[in-house]
Chains A and B, each alone.
Chain A
Amino acid sequence: GAGVSQSPSNKVTEKGKDVELRCDPISGHTALYWYRQSLGQGLEFLIYFQGNSAPDKSGLPSDRFSAERTGGSVSTLTIQRTQQEDSAVYLCASSLAPSSSYEQYFGPGTRLTVT
Chain B
Amino acid sequence: AQKITQTQPGMFVQEKEAVTLDCTYDTSDPSYGLFWYKQPSSGEMIFLIYQGSYDQQNATEGRYSLNFQKARKSANLVISASQLGDSAMYFCAMREGPGGATNKLIFGTGTLLAVQP
Residues of A bordering B, CB below 8 Å:
31, 33, 35, 42-43, 45, 48, 55-56, 59, 89, 91, 93, 95, 98-101, 103-109, 111
- Determine which of B32, B101, B108, B110 lies in contact with A56 in the assembled complex, contact meaning CB atoms within 8 Å: B101
Within the complex, the shortest CB–CB distance from B113 to chain A, in Å, comes to 17
Residues of B bordering A, CB below 8 Å:
31-33, 35, 37, 42-47, 50, 52, 91, 93, 95-98, 100-110
Looking at B42, B47, B95, B110, the one whose CB has the most chain A CB atoms below 10 A away is B95
Contact between chains at A91 and B101 (CB < 8 Å)? no
What residues of A have a CB within 8 angstroms of the CB of B107 in the complex? 42-43
What residues of B have a CB within 8 angstroms of the CB of A89 in the complex? 43
Known A-B contacts A55-B102, A99-B98; A109 and B43 likewise in contact (beta carbons under 8 Å): yes
Within the complex, the shortest CB–CB distance from A89 to chain B, in Å, comes to 7
What residues of A have a CB within 8 angstroms of the CB of B31 in the complex? 100
What residues of A have a CB within 8 angstroms of the CB of B96 in the complex? 100
Contact between chains at A33 and B105 (CB < 8 Å)? yes
Contact between chains at B32 and A100 (CB < 8 Å)? yes
Within the complex, the shortest CB–CB distance from A38 to chain B, in Å, comes to 12
Q: Please give me the residue from chain B that is nearest to A55 by CB atom.
A: B102
What residues of A have a CB within 8 angstroms of the CB of B98 in the complex? 99-100
CA distance in complex: A105, B101 (Å): 19
Within the complex, the shortest CB–CB distance from A44 to chain B, in Å, comes to 8
Contact between chains at A91 and B103 (CB < 8 Å)? no
CA distance in complex: A31, B101 (Å): 13
Within the complex, the shortest CB–CB distance from B39 to chain A, in Å, comes to 9
A-B contact pairs, 16 of them (CB 8 A): A33-B104, A42-B107, A43-B93, A45-B102, A45-B105, A48-B103, A56-B104, A95-B103, A98-B102, A100-B33, A100-B52, A100-B95, A101-B33, A101-B50, A101-B52, A103-B47
CA distance in complex: A89, B42 (Å): 12
CA distance in complex: A21, B46 (Å): 21
CA distance in complex: A42, B103 (Å): 19
